[in-house]
Amino acid sequence: MQASLLLAEQYRNASLVRKMFGDAFYIVTAYGIFPDGHDYTNELQALVNKANAEGRSAIFFPAGDYYITNINNDQNIYYFGDNAKFIGGYTKEISQIGSAPSSEIYYNVKEFGAKGDGVTDDAPAIQSAIDTCHNNGGGVVFFSTGNFFIGTTLLVKSGVQLLGSGFNNWDFRFSKGTWLIMKNTLTSLIDVGDDTTGMVFGTSISQISLTVEGYTNGGAVKGFGIWERYSWYFHSNDIYVEGFATGVKIGDTTKTLNHYYTNTHISDCDVFIQINNGADVTFNGGRIGTNGPAAARTAGIIIKGTCDSLAFNRLIIAHNAGMQYNVRITEVGVSLFWITFNDCDMETATIASFHCDTFASMIRINNSWVGSAAPMVFSDGDRIIVRDSTFANQNGLPAAIHLTGKVGNVTLEQNELLSAPNVQIKVDTSESGIKIKDCLIANGGVAVQFMPTAGTPKNWFLIDNDIRGQVDNAIVINLSVLRRVKVKGNFIVDYANHGIIAAGSGNVSLDIQGNTIGTNATSGTRRSIYIVDAISGVMVMNNDITNNASGMVDASVAPKIVDNNMS
């Protein structure tokens, strides 16, 4: 980036380039593309793909002729150069920052009559700048520092990038940067595409703060801040959104594609982010839900409709006065898959930190902090993985994690559960394929409770976990309908009642092997392994139960194997 800045400073219009794109533009010579007569089509295509993937749009060409035959997926890419051009058949133009007038790519809303005084309705002037930019093939619509009152919804069209002079939050409200203030009777402040435009391409919004006329911190909220109704290839960088019923909404009745948000801050909306019918959506960095002490809100993120390939990275999802859900995936009868949360902080939820009640597949939660005093609940879905995450502040709840309803094929791996709910992990789903592996499960009433009552679930595994400090039983297994359960390689210590207690009926295929089970209790009826009923198909082998007051009680019947346990 420093090289980009130094190179840009060599040109007369470098300040314009930096104002529009900061230091985030590519120099083709750094990617092996030169004006020497060789065909660099493949190299430029790779750079365009990289720009799209990283949510950027500007590529700089030093002087010369570049042999390029054709480039795909270049709708939202803008080429800049100083006496540079394409030869070889590729027809997209390189805007000449060394000679071409800036008005060809750069439209200042004040030159179209906008005042930015917070009183004048600047919507007509801004829309005129947007329309002119779009009609001329695209470019940047620029907002200087100011407060721009918006009396009618702004409609962003293909090729238009809205660029402010800096975004700020409540602490610097209306005093620094660019603020757009929506009239409080509008449905939305900014629409990206609508029924008249159809699908729009290659748009962006950056360095702008959005709010609602008359909004006060914690007060009533109205409308949408940004509504991507018909949008493909949209990018946002450094925005602040406050006081809307929905801060950012992606999608409508038609599926939209490729939305990339960086450093997004949304404060005190009822729903902070809602995705309806969206694909290839990425949020990288930001705070979702801060401020607003006067009123609790509904949800940090709601996902519904037909969605796939959604990624949320390094987000803080929390609201001072609470929200019902940090994340909610809902709506029956649609296709939802590949939804990923990485390095996120989920706090202050009152109903659920994460709640999925529809059939969504391939959900991933990685390396996150779940600090809400509310459970993580999956009542439907398939192929779900929660890994390397920490659960805290669930003291006194029925469960910290609840797998119920029709959810199946769930893996909980390398997590830490550290608070004291009645049950740390409660599983009563009717479906198969539950694996809990390499977790630290400390404190609480019961560590893991397998208690299905319906369906024919099977293949539930507890493997290599560290389970300690329970004030009731460590592991409870009900085998009335459940079959093929494996408890293997766990370290189970310092429980108050039983290490493993199993009950049920029939031939259950229960495999308890290679566990270390011990408690410091010296009296009472505490057992390391307690098989209550006359179930069959039990294998209890190679367990170390030497540090126990009362050893093992086994009421199971043949066929079974109980052998080589150290006691």
The string of pLDDT tens digits covering residues 55-107 is: 777 888 888 899 999 999 998 888 877 688 999 999 998 877 544 334 448 89
The whole-chain average pLDDT of the chain stands at 89
- Give pLDDT, residue 137: 87
Place 550 in a pLDDT band, splitting at 50, 70 and 90.
Answer: low
- Give pLDDT, residue 20: 45
Q: Is the pLDDT of residue 24 over 80?
A: no
- Give pLDDT, residue 176: 76
Has residue 409 been placed in a domain?
Answer: no
Rounded distance, CA 398 to CA 62, Å? 64
- Give pLDDT, residue 25: 66
Q: Specify the number of domains making up the chain.
A: 1
Question: H or E element: which one contains 50?
Answer: helix 41-53
Could you tell me which residues come within 8 angstroms of residue 15 by beta carbon, excluding any fewer than 6 positions away?
A: none
- Give pLDDT, residue 393: 96
Mean pLDDT (whole number) for 224-237: 94
Has residue 18 been placed in a domain?
Answer: yes
- Give pLDDT, residue 9: 36
Percent of the chain predicted with pLDDT > 90 = 69
Mean pLDDT (whole number) for 318-329: 93
Q: Is the pLDDT of residue 204 over 70?
A: yes
| Cβ atoms of residues 181 and 148 within 8 Å | yes
- Give pLDDT, residue 22: 43
Has this prediction a pTM greater than 0.85?
Answer: no
Q: Which residues pair with 108 in a beta bridge?
A: 142
| Cβ atoms of residues 269 and 292 within 8 Å | no
- Give pLDDT, residue 525: 67
- From 2-16, 171-185, 202-216, 379-393, the region with the lowest mean pLDDT: 2-16
- Give pLDDT, residue 99: 40
- Give pLDDT, residue 523: 55
SS (H, E, C) 478-498: EECCCEEEEEECCEEECCCCC
- Give pLDDT, residue 296: 77
Has residue 44 been placed in a domain?
Answer: yes
- Give pLDDT, residue 321: 86
| Cβ atoms of residues 76 and 201 within 8 Å | yes
Mean pLDDT (whole number) for 415-424: 98
- Tokens 């009680």 correspond to 553
Q: Is the pLDDT of residue 14 over 60?
A: no
Q: N- to C-terminal Cα distance for the chain?
A: 65
Higher pLDDT, 101 or 553: 553
- Give pLDDT, residue 32: 84
Mean pLDDT (whole number) for 8-33: 54
Q: How do residues 369-400 score in pLDDT, each as one tens digit?
A: 999 999 999 999 999 999 999 999 999 999 99
Place 146 in a pLDDT band, splitting at 50, 70 and 90.
Answer: very high
- Give pLDDT, residue 63: 80
- Give pLDDT, residue 247: 97
Sign of CA dihedral 530, 407, 459, 440: negative
Has residue 34 been placed in a domain?
Answer: yes
Rounded distance, CA 305 to CA 365, Å? 20
Mean pLDDT (whole number) for 191-196: 93
Q: Are strands 246-250 and 224-228 parallel, antiparallel or unpaired?
A: parallel
Q: Are strands 58-61 and 26-27 parallel, antiparallel or unpaired?
A: parallel
Has residue 66 been placed in a domain?
Answer: yes
Q: Is the pLDDT of residue 16 over 90?
A: no
Could you tell me which residues come within 8 angstroms of residue 462 by beta carbon, excluding any fewer than 6 positions away?
A: 436, 437, 448, 475, 486, 487, 488, 490
Rounded distance, CA 235 to CA 205, Å? 7
Has residue 483 been placed in a domain?
Answer: no
Has residue 422 been placed in a domain?
Answer: no
Has residue 296 been placed in a domain?
Answer: no
Q: How far is CA 324 from CA 181, 240, 298, in A?
A: 27, 22, 5
Mean pLDDT (whole number) for 343-356: 97
- Give pLDDT, residue 77: 86
- From 34-43, 408-417, 447-456, 459-468, the region with the lowest mean pLDDT: 34-43
Q: How far is CA 162 from CA 106, 134, 166, 236, in A?
A: 10, 12, 12, 9
Residue span of the structural domain in which 96 resides:
2-102
